Amino acid sequence: MKKFFEDVKRLYRHNQFFALALVVVIGLSIWLIGCESSVTSPINPPKKVTRAELDAEMEHLIAQVELAIEDLNKQDLFKQKLFEIGLVAATEGGINPVGVGVTLLGILGIGAAADNRKKDSVIKTLQNNSGGK
């Protein structure tokens, strides 16, 4: 066994640069064949993803954006229809602008009153929990 190691040492001394190159080539081969390229996920930054996973994330993100755009378009269409109805009613004289203003102010008043009731109940709960101080 000792002779074997001496032969290996002698062989290494005579071919040390070749041996170093062989180790580098083996290491690079393992890295190129065995390790799939990956990047940080734009959706989940702590996670690394491969090309296929990145493509899937991109398709999912595009689908979500398309749904959001469709929802925005529906909201804008609804607002436009309401504006058109209001415009037609105002030009034909079916709606009294002063009446609309009073109604809107009444709705704001109801909202403010409900908000005050909610605040009163929160304050009362906090006072009861703190011992009435």
Can you give the three-state secondary structure of the chain, one letter per residue?
CHHHHHHHHHHHHHCHHHHHHHHHHHHHHHHHHHCCCCEECCCCCCCEECHHHHHHHHHHHHHHHHHHHHHHHHHHHHHHHHHHHHHHHHHHCCCCHHHHHHHHHHHHHHHHHHHHHHHHHHHHHHHHHCCCC
Same domain, 51 and 85: yes
Q: Is the pLDDT of residue 54 over 60?
A: yes
Q: Are residues 86 and 103 in the same domain?
A: no
| Residue 62's pLDDT band (cuts 50, 70, 90) | very high
Q: Of all residues in the chain, what percent carry a pLDDT higher than 70?
A: 94
> Which range marks the domain in which residue 17 is found?
1-35
Q: Is the pTM of this model over 0.85?
A: no
- The answer on 47 and 25 residing in a single domain is no
Per residue in 69-115, pLDDT (tens digit) is 999 999 999 888 888 877 777 777 666 777 778 888 888 888 888 88
Residues 42 and 84 in one domain: yes
